[in-house]
Amino acid sequence: TLYFGSKILCVLYVSLLGYDILFQDVDIVWYKSPLLFFHSHDGVGKRLVDEYDIIFQHDGSPQQRYGMKVTPMMHELLEMITCSLTFFRLLAKAPYSANSGFFFVKSNSKTKYLLTSMLYHGDLVRKTSSHQQVFNHLLLEHSSLMGLRVKVMDQHDIKEFPGGDQYQHDNNGMHRIFSGQDKPFLFHMFWTDGHASKLKFLRQMGGWFVNDACLGHWVTSFASDLNLVGSLSGRCCSVEPLVTCHYRDKPSIIPCNDSPFYDKNAKPFW
């Protein structure tokens, strides 16, 4: 939440220069370029980038705070006028459930206004301690009032863009990824508290490629005398994933049954 203003500024600055932009957090591993997905055609020959102004990964959380609370009085009123409750049940959930850690933005007047509005709502982000909650409400407002075309990748796209909710709750889905049955574009380790836990989970699922010698050091401490790109790729980056077991009950690309449990009363992943 504290760094969200920086997130929005870096996207807005690029957008103001007239460029479309893909923003992502650093807890994401690419298997193939997601730009291929955004520029792909749907069943009627239209591309996502032509149909929408902004495209998000699904957050996996239909929390009520993102939507509208349906009170008992509202239920009684709807029953009196014999109106379906379906619409209000949908409102009670998050209409978009957009994850602000991965989104594609087209550069146009509507998205620039959205990003600018988000900056102006910094006090509300501070008050609610949730930039995601504020962002989702602004998406609702701008789509309704300004005609902003918002796409949040839904349940049909989860196989293409899995994340922390699948890691924590869908062992079968993670087995399909590890076996190669599912071939996602990327994996986003959200729904995980703390840098240390994300690092361990990424390592044991085969999503970590940074050598330990480069962790916790400024680039200038080992690359000042060398070609920057060459030194970084040669010293810090591994071609193959650096796999380390940490927890037997969390998804892992190899069996980790000799490791401790992360959650109490959990079952081994393998």
pLDDT value, residue 185: 95
Contacts of residue 158, defined as CB under 8 A and 6 or more positions apart, other chains included, come to 58, 166, 173
Q: Do 174 and 166 form a contact (C-beta atoms < 8 A)?
A: yes
Closest CA to 66 of 143, 130, 118: 130
Record the tokens describing residue 86, joined without a space: 């379906």
pLDDT digits (tens, 9 = 90+) for 187-224: 999 988 888 999 999 999 999 999 887 887 776 666 55
- Does the pLDDT value for residue 256 go beyond 50? yes
CA distance from start to end of the chain: 36
Instruction: Give the bridge partners for 102, in sequence order.
Output: 24
> With 90 as the cut, is the pLDDT of residue 15 above it?
yes
> Global pTM?
0.82
pLDDT score for 67: 47
